[in-house]
Structure 1
């Protein structure tokens, strides 16, 4: 017999039915309802020529605000693997925008990238100050307001820019133009990815790492590099010679080119600093590179050629396809010639460390308690107390 549901029974039943769920609240950014919303994945979101409210949500989003005074929230970025993070890539476009890149869940590694603020298409140079919790980026008459988060990459314009980083670890790319980049606190990279994320240029840039272990790169032109406090890495790509380097306090590594046509001066600063000097060399095998640790001078064996003078350097690592002559001091010397063709070293007194090349070397360690490793090749080593791979006096290969 079919059951019949009476009105009274129906009313009672309806009283016990669960209420239908209300629709989720629309995403907001800076208190405003979003007009363009992404997904939990990787999106490419493009705004209009008017004011937009864009919310990327999850994923590594590419957001282009275009014109208007936009409000942009990148959203939380996901971790990939153990330590890697893919962040959002945000270009607010013309107008005075409010931008919150979001926060990365995991620390960035070399395989990932954090949030990017992109100003490569700006119509004039930018003035960015991200040193406080709320930063500003001024482009002509417009000023973007940035909610500063940990781990930002900032890409400048093709004009002259001034970019001051955050109190966290930043990567500041000046792009083209004569730029001033100041990393501030944190372990920063300045023009570190030139040619990858930005275009190398031949303008005179000033790059200041500030406190922290920074990586600072000269990309061409008469750039001025200042590592500041910390164990910094200062290097040049060799597009143009004429870069000045100041390591500052800390144990710094400097990578510089020797130019036999132009004198230059580098200052490694305080600390135990290393200079890796590279020279394109000559086809004449009789010409060698001479490294004089006592005077801090690097030159060739040709008397009339230019001199590179490096102050504050305790460790030397020549990198040339030519023979190298190393002249030590009365104190402790340290030289690594693995990237050279034949080493002739005389280190005088002091407790020295000498690492030879993969060719035949002649090493006189002098007085003091010295450690010598001749490496490959048939080497002659004298005056050393600890000897490895030397066939001559002082050790066996």
Structure 2
């Protein structure tokens, strides 16, 4: 519709660089109609570069719903959708409050994947937050039969998707991207809009990444170190999760076997007269001990999911390193081309020795030396090619240096975030274990 087109145009317009947030709180009560969503777009657009979107907008993935539709071949497609709600925070003194009703829409997991792929291409130097896993991995034995439509698994994925959106919103650059905004606000034609950017054609293929990795002559030591760091992070987190899965399976079995003792004590209490009450109490205690493990395991799984996120963060870091290798390889190729063209020019001018078995040398011996006008034409052509190659080298150098500068800055930000998050996770895990031991 014309209204939706107007909304998108407002979203993609260049943001105001002023440091203040210019909006009237009376106009920002967000509901479902286009005019209120338009107000939200205007608000998001006017956030200055010195502010994070997450400081001024609350983003929630509040619900999930199982749906089905019939495809073109008559096949029934069953999937889960997630409700995204966006509210604006307004400052009242030092206290932030959420203003108005939320703007909301439903998104499929595949649309979250499309958004993340777009962000990876658009911000190649950023360690883009990962999505929650589509199917369970590194699970303890009791969870091995859970499918990807299980209610608990879907709920945990909902939490992971909410974390993903909040992490993107808290990033200074990704949080300002207009297609990220429209993902949360534009219900219709969002897929067509993002596909129209052509981001899919800009993705580096695996073959290109491998080619750059093997043929790179001068790899940057800093990024080589980051590749090792990312792999070690992945291995260490995986080892922790696998150990935890074994412990969880063992602990779960110990607790559940007490249910058998509870049943024995309950039956025994009916036989014994003097000890009946005591045996009955012991049976109830065993039953409670058996049932308590379920809640405990649910809490542990939540911590495990947050820890698992850093396995995929490590993959995101390795993706940044692969991109650096591709850019470095392109720079080396452009430098080699420039060197080759300069050498050909020097050969033509007699400043460099000709190769013994070169095609040009054989031609000169057979047909004689080139005519002056042919030589001049070749020289002019080489000069043009050298000029183009020099421009390509300068362009690649500038892009590579800019990428590396931004990427290293992102790595430092990621390390601080990782240290803070893992510290909080391990403290939560220790507190949970203490709580369990006290029972």
Which of the five TM-score ranges fits, normalised by the shorter chain? under 0.3
Q: Which has the higher contact order (CA 8 A, sep 6+)?
A: 2
Structure with the higher fraction of residues in helix conformation: 2
Task: Please give the TM-score of this superposition, normalised by the length of structure 2.
Answer: 0.19
Task: Please give the TM-score of this superposition, normalised by the length of structure 1.
Answer: 0.20
